[in-house]
Amino acid sequence: MNITDLYKGSLEAIVLQLIRQQGEMYGYELTQKAREISGGHLKITEGTLYPLLHKLEAEGTLSSELKPYGNRMRKYYRLTKAGVQEQEKASVSLQEYIGHLQQFLNPKLA
């Protein structure tokens, strides 16, 4: 099984976690950071990332700001107040999920 497939369901939680850690991030930075932390396993494509960011923005989880960077414009995303709560919930759910997975992998610990 491809490891990237395993990341798919957790992508939203990962993106929110990264943005919270960094304060604000732009699309390319998110893809690179995710790749760096996962040791190259998590390759977020633009076709997945930007629709997700725009969905979270429309839901009020993220806010964005377009700022000039060099000769171009760059869109930075940050968590809103509701986004911080959403990120905390997502983080708890993710940890519970990892705990359940470990019980499947090491049934003796359960």
Partner 1 sequence: MNRELSTEEIDQLHRFCRQHYVTHYDVRVELVDHLASSIEALWIKNSALSLESALQQVYHTYGATGFRKLMREEEQAVEKAFHKGLGRAFTAMFAWPNIVLAGALSLVCVFFGSFYEKGQTFVPAIFILFFCAFGVLLDIGVSVLLHREKKQLREPLLATNTYRGFFLIFLLEYTMCYRLTGYLFEPDSLTDGAFSRAAFLLYSGICIVCVLMSLAKYRFAQSMFEKARKTYPLAFR
Count Cβ atoms below 10 Å from residue 23 Cβ, excluding itself.
9
DSSP string computed for 3-72: HHHHHGGGHHHHHHHHHHHHSSEEHHHHHHHHHHHTTT-----HHHHHHHHHHHHHTTSEEEEEEEETTE
Answer yes or no whether residue 110 interacts with partner 1 by CB under 8 A: no
Query: Considering CB under 8 A, how many residues would be counted as binding partner 1?
Result: 24
Answer yes or no whether residue 58 interacts with partner 1 by CB under 8 A: yes
The one among 17, 38, 64, 91 contacting partner 1 by CB under 8 A: 64
Stretch that binds partner 1, among 2-10, 11-19, 53-61, 85-93 (CB under 8 A): 53-61
Residues at the site binding partner 1, with contacts judged by CB under 8 A: 26-29, 46-48, 50-52, 54-55, 58-59, 64-66, 69-75
